[in-house]
């Protein structure tokens, strides 16, 4: 997360896809409980750091609800 936010400066779709792959890998190796926790945490991090307005848990653009 910090790598994406500070150093790479990638678009939010790339970050979301990486978070999705992380959840899929965790579910494959450790199971559903860890995958659910990871998915919730990833959603909160994605909303807070990558969707405008940044550093808030609100979504300004209705199109970002799908993301």
- Can you give the pTM of this predicted structure? 0.79
What the block records as the tokens of 27 is 């579910």
| Number of separate domains in the chain | 1
| Amino acid 10: pLDDT | 79
Alpha helices in 1-67 (DSSP H): 2, 12-30, 32-50
Confidence (pLDDT) at 1: 61
pLDDT values of the chain reduced to their tens digit, one per residue, 67 residues:
667 667 777 788 888 899 999 999 999 999 999 999 999 999 999 889 888 888 888 877 777 777 6
Question: 50 lies in which domain range?
Answer: 2-65
């Amino acid at each position: 997360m910090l790598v994406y936010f500070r150093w790479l400066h990638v678009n939010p779709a790339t970050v979301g896809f990486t978070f999705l792959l992380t959840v899929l890998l965790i579910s494959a190796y450790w199971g559903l409980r860890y995958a659910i926790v990871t998915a919730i945490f990833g959603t909160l991090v994605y909303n807070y750091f990558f969707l405008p307005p940044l550093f808030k848990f609100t979504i300004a653009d209705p199109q970002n609800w799908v993301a």
